[in-house]
Amino acid sequence: MIEEGDPAPDFTVPVAGGEAYNDVGEFTLSEHVGNGPVVLAFFPAAFTSGCTEELCTFRDSLGAFEAVDASVYGISTDLPFAQNEFIRQEGLTFPLLSDYDHEAIEAYDVVLEGFYDVMSVAERAVFVIDDDGTVAYRWVRDGENPDFEQLVSEVRDAVESAARPS
């Protein structure tokens, strides 16, 4: 299990930018470490009510993250083409990472088995990685969904603590 203070596992996955259904690139975590804190918001599935509420709360708070040079990425096991449509429909202003082969959810130990009794997906979880590539904050859902505004506020505080002074 990945804990605060551990090195953040590196991974490479497709990234959905949201400009078109085929707006797909490649994202490698280690290429983004050192440019300000990185927020990885794992979520089970696009187009579901809890995930939509969570990601829209991050969207609405994005300015506070950008103010400390933090980058926010949602990450799920959805294909990037579906994520692009989700970005478009919800007006999300940050990219989504497609972990369709489960590399990242397994590395971060946030696999939710039996989603709708059918498949394994990402557990709802948030990790903040600092400029040194260390996990500075870890939250994994335990029970029901949290108050997303409170969760995002806690993540913002963790990002501010992880940000290096200019």
Decide: 108 and 9 in contact? Cβ < 8 Å. yes
Count CA within 13 A, CB hemisphere, residue 7.
Answer: 4
Q: What is the predicted pLDDT for the residue at 118?
A: 63
Q: What is the predicted pLDDT for the residue at 140?
A: 92
For 126, the token pair is 């948030």
**H/E/C letters for each residue in the chain?**
CCCCCCECCCCEEEEECCCCCCCEEEEEHHHCCCCCCEEEEECCCCCCHHHHHHHHHHHHCHHHHHCCCCEEEEEECCCHHHHHHHHHHHCCCCCEEECCCCHHHHHCCCEEEEECCCEEEECCEEEEECCCCEEEEEEECCCCCCCHHHHHHHHHHHHHHHCCCC
- The predicted-structure confidence for 43-79, as pLDDT tens digits, reads as follows 999 998 888 999 999 999 999 899 888 999 999 999 9
Q: Greater confidence, 96 or 162?
A: 96
Q: What is the predicted pLDDT for the residue at 152?
A: 87
Q: What percent of the chain has pLDDT over 90?
A: 67
Local confidence band at 166 (pLDDT 50, 70, 90 cut-offs): very low
Q: What is the predicted pLDDT for the residue at 165?
A: 58
Q: Which domains does the chain have, with CATH numbers?
A: 12-162 (3.40.30.10)
For 42, the token pair is 């794992």
- The predicted-structure confidence for 97-148, as pLDDT tens digits, reads as follows 999 999 999 999 999 876 656 668 889 999 999 999 999 999 998 888 778 8
Active site residues: 51
Phi, psi of 124 (to 5 degrees): -70, 120
Q: What is the predicted pLDDT for the residue at 164?
A: 62
* Arithmetic mean of pLDDT, 72-97: 96
- The predicted-structure confidence for 12-36, as pLDDT tens digits, reads as follows 999 999 999 899 999 999 999 999 9
Decide: 2 and 135 in contact? Cβ < 8 Å. yes
Q: What percent of the chain has pLDDT over 70?
A: 95
